[in-house]
Amino acid sequence: MLFVTAGLLIVVSAAIQAAEEKMIIIKGSDTMVHLVSDWAEAFMTLDPNAEVAVTGGGSGTGIAALINGTTGICASSRDMKDQEKQQAKEKGTDVREIVVARDGIAVVVNPKNPLGELDMQQLEQIFTGAYTHWNQVGGPDEEILVFSRESSSGTYVFFQEHVLKKKDYTPKAKLMPATSAIIESVSSDEGAIGYVGLGYALAAKDKVRILAVKADANSTAVMPSDETVTSGSYPIARPLYLYVNTKAPENITAFVNFCLSDAGQAIVRKAGYVAVQ
């Protein structure tokens, strides 16, 4: 009886392991969750035997999971840091980086805010706390309420590096666990300002208003769009990545290839991002 029980345990364990190897696990950027989910649904429609599980948690969380071997694919809205690359090397993980889309970071305010544009220096002053009231940038005499993603977010890191010039966010910034939380907060408070991926800003429609951004005080204000992100005229834009192990199984390679295919890039455009193919 014990022999049979042990045999069954071995069979069950093998079945679980096989199922885990078959399933594609994708973890990482909250900015990319709905895009990656759309890819996953389309991929599973093309291949009914495929299984894909998608979760967010932030780019840093996804990168850590890839290094630790708990996810097959990391979706990231920033590139890997040197420290993370070293950690991967120490773990024996050889990482492949694939740019699968591009994104503009949209600066959003409440629809009742009368401002239509800000320049990069004004954004830096607002998000570092040097400016605390809207009349300092030509708006009403109301307090500015800053909303940001949490530090595990790739969008948080990108915005800090490219807009804040690596300075700290204002200690008064309210850190949100997800992009959707920033949209909801900005939509409900007239003094609010935040930043989100362009796809999320467009999907929010009239709940928030997207500001045009000037590279400097003397430049022309530019709205984020496919054209301005591709041309480089919109100053807050970035690539979006999938990271995988170079020794990834065939099903993961097939998924990445699908994301880069004509069908996959059509999904990129439909989701409000900018295609790379």
DSSP-derived letter for residue 266 is H
pLDDT, residue 31, reads: 87
Residues 181 and 106 sit within 8 Å (Cβ to Cβ): no
| Radius of gyration from C-alpha coordinates of the chain | 21
Q: How far is it, in rounded angstroms, from Cα 226 to Cα 74? A: 24
pLDDT for 21 equals: 59
Instruction: For residues 41 and 49, give the distance between their C-alpha atoms in angstroms, rounded to a whole number.
Output: 12
Going residue by residue through the chain, which has 277 residues, state the pLDDT in tens, using 9 for 90 and above. Answer: 444 444 433 333 333 334 445 899 999 999 899 999 999 999 999 999 999 999 999 999 999 999 999 999 999 999 999 999 999 999 999 999 999 999 999 999 999 999 999 999 999 999 999 999 999 999 999 999 999 999 989 899 999 999 999 999 999 999 999 999 999 999 999 999 999 999 899 999 999 999 999 999 999 999 999 899 989 899 999 999 999 999 999 999 999 999 999 999 999 998 888 999 8
Domains of the chain (ranges; CATH) run 2-102+239-270 (3.40.190.10), 103-231 (3.40.190.10)
Closest CA to 211 of 132, 262, 144: 144
Angstrom distance (rounded) from CA 90 to CA 95: 12
- The per-residue pLDDT for 49 is 94
